[in-house]
Amino acid sequence: MRVAVGLTLCMLLACIPTASAQFDPESLYAWPGDPVDSHVHMTWAALTLEVNEWADDHPGIVDLMSTGESELGKALWVVRLSDWSMDTKPNGSAKEIVYIDGGHHGNEYLGTALAWLSAKWYIDGWVNGDEEAINVLQTTELHILIMLNPDGNDFDTRWNINQVDLNRNYDHYWNTCPTTQPGSSAFSEAETAANSAYINQYVTDADLYVTMHTGVWIILYPWGKWPEQPPDWELFWSIRDTVNAGISDIPIQNANQGLYPNCGTSRDYGYGVMGFPTFTFETDDEQFLPGSVENLNDRLGEEMDVMRYLIDNVWFWRARLVVQSITIDDETLALDIANHGEASTSMASLEYRNPSGEVLWASSMFGVNATNSTVVSFEVDDDAFEEAGVWNLNYQKRVINASTWVNETVDGNTSVVMIQDAESGFLTGFGLFNPLAVILSFVGVSFYTRRENDIEDVINDVKPRCEL
């Protein structure tokens, strides 16, 4: 069943209801490649021309670099999209980071096509004034390595030129499953070494990594190595349920159970070593599903809907702790803390430090479930708080051991209350000039005052989720 050029992607996304008046999706998706053996195929040369055109035509949002070369010397292009006139979001906070790669397997053209489309959708949306695309590029960096295996792509083969399966060549339980051609060692291949170098240099703080393949109609989350659910199962299940409820009924499963045991994959590396929430997008096509009645355009369009949901809501794919209040009596500290993110965190702690950084008091470790508030209590000696100081919150963004640590100063406007001593009627431990009196003066001021920017983010980020 030959797929005709021009037919393939031109109508993609026409059903998506977010385009502004002047945004014409039908004009945007002319595919630059050729149909080869019933695949939708783009050569590395065609890709090279196109990504360089993107960079030349849209320098304000497209930053193109090569993260190395394939075994045969072809550049591994990374298209980096954001509003590069701003280092931060409009509200001054750090932009979210998303990493995408495609084309590990050279004969899985639709995986490459979806990565290409992910870049093209945001570029064209920006150019055409689409509100969703503009909002994403003002608040997010998208790093997209469209074709990781250009040698295999041009030879129409799964392997790289050394006959290695690149998606079994990563340094996470490498070669510990029954597998084919994982290479001589982890990262033995130029392509995987370059990909991991990029990940470890430029996107270490990513809150989403999607790797794009072809073969089965499914989205996979970790692990491939084990049948058990990953430590952040709650996050993956929440995303699965939301996608399946309103965006696509594509199956979303643990990779080991949904497909088969696989080790040394970029997905397990991204989650197990880097700590990213990681998904493998698999797309099928007529070649792989004889008799499939679903149009290729619909398939890719549906996965693009899921991608847009994941990108629009990337702010949520980690724990986001906010101290709501701290209450201290002479023996107990009660911490009221909220988690606005959809990932739980299990090893949080609160510290009180003096201005020179010395820790005057530190809590034991505690956990906060996703999208929850909790009050945790600790035994204290309130003398520890007589010296002027600041509160610090330490926690991991997700439950997986590898996830990034956050160390944030708790805002001075947070409510910190010292309970009155029952016998004296005066505040315990307070003199008029005690520094804590200054903190006390903030009692009653809502923590939302400082956090309004973040809350704005929540509100803004929730919107697209509701629309999809």
Q: Return the number of the residue (158 or 240) whose C-beta is nearest Zn ion.
A: 158
**Can you tell me whether residue 359 is helix, strand or coil?**
strand
Q: Which amino acid is at 79?
A: V
Tokens of 189: 């291949």
**215: DSSP letter:** S
Q: Return the number of the residue (153 or 396) whose C-beta is nearest Zn ion.
A: 153
In the complex, what is the shortest distance from the CB of residue 140 to Zn ion, in angstroms, rounded to a whole number? 26
Measuring CA to CA, which residue among 287, 279, 282 is closest to residue 299?
Answer: 282
> Which span sits near Zn ion by CB under 5 A: 20-28, 101-109, 223-231, 291-299?
101-109
Q: Return the number of the residue (105 or 120) whose C-beta is nearest Zn ion.
A: 105
Distance between CA 459 and CA 58 in Å, rounded?
30
Q: Return the number of the residue (89 or 105) whose C-beta is nearest Zn ion.
A: 105
In the complex, what is the shortest distance from the CB of residue 54 to Zn ion, in angstroms, rounded to a whole number? 25
Q: Return the number of the residue (41 or 105) whose C-beta is nearest Zn ion.
A: 105
By CB under 5 A, what part of segment 180-239 binds Zn ion? Answer: 213
Lookup result for tokens 């970029």: 266
Q: Return the number of the residue (172 or 318) whose C-beta is nearest Zn ion.
A: 172
Contact string 50-89 vs Zn ion (x = CB under 5 A) = ----------------------------------------
Tokens of 285: 């096509």
> Is position 168 an interface residue for Zn ion (rule: CB under 5 A)?
no
In the complex, what is the shortest distance from the CB of residue 207 to Zn ion, in angstroms, rounded to a whole number? 24
> Which span sits near Zn ion by CB under 5 A: 105-113, 235-243, 323-331, 427-435?
105-113
In the complex, what is the shortest distance from the CB of residue 443 to Zn ion, in angstroms, rounded to a whole number? 57
Whether the ω angle into residue 361 lies within 30 degrees of 0, i.e. cis, is: no
Distance between CA 231 and CA 328 in Å, rounded?
33
In the complex, what is the shortest distance from the CB of residue 276 to Zn ion, in angstroms, rounded to a whole number? 19
Q: Which amino acid is at 435?
A: P
Contact in structure between 191 and 70 (CB atoms under 8 Å) = yes
Q: Return the number of the residue (167 or 254) whose C-beta is nearest Zn ion.
A: 167
Residue nearest to Zn ion (CB): 213
> Which span sits near Zn ion by CB under 5 A: 7-15, 104-112, 114-122, 257-265?
104-112
Q: Which amino acid is at 436?
A: L
Q: Which amino acid is at 100?
A: I
Lookup result for tokens 């330490």: 394
In the complex, what is the shortest distance from the CB of residue 213 to Zn ion, in angstroms, rounded to a whole number? 3
Beta bridge partners, 102, equal 212
Lookup result for tokens 């929540």: 458
In the complex, what is the shortest distance from the CB of residue 310 to Zn ion, in angstroms, rounded to a whole number? 19
Q: Which amino acid is at 101?
A: D
Q: Return the number of the residue (89 or 213) whose C-beta is nearest Zn ion.
A: 213
**163: DSSP letter:** S
| Residue in 41, 80, 105, 299 binding Zn ion, rule: CB under 5 A | 105
In the complex, what is the shortest distance from the CB of residue 36 to Zn ion, in angstroms, rounded to a whole number? 17
Measuring CA to CA, which residue among 246, 351, 257, 262 is closest to residue 302?
Answer: 246
Measuring CA to CA, which residue among 328, 349, 347 is closest to residue 427?
Answer: 328
- Site residues (CB under 5 A) for Zn ion? 105, 108, 213
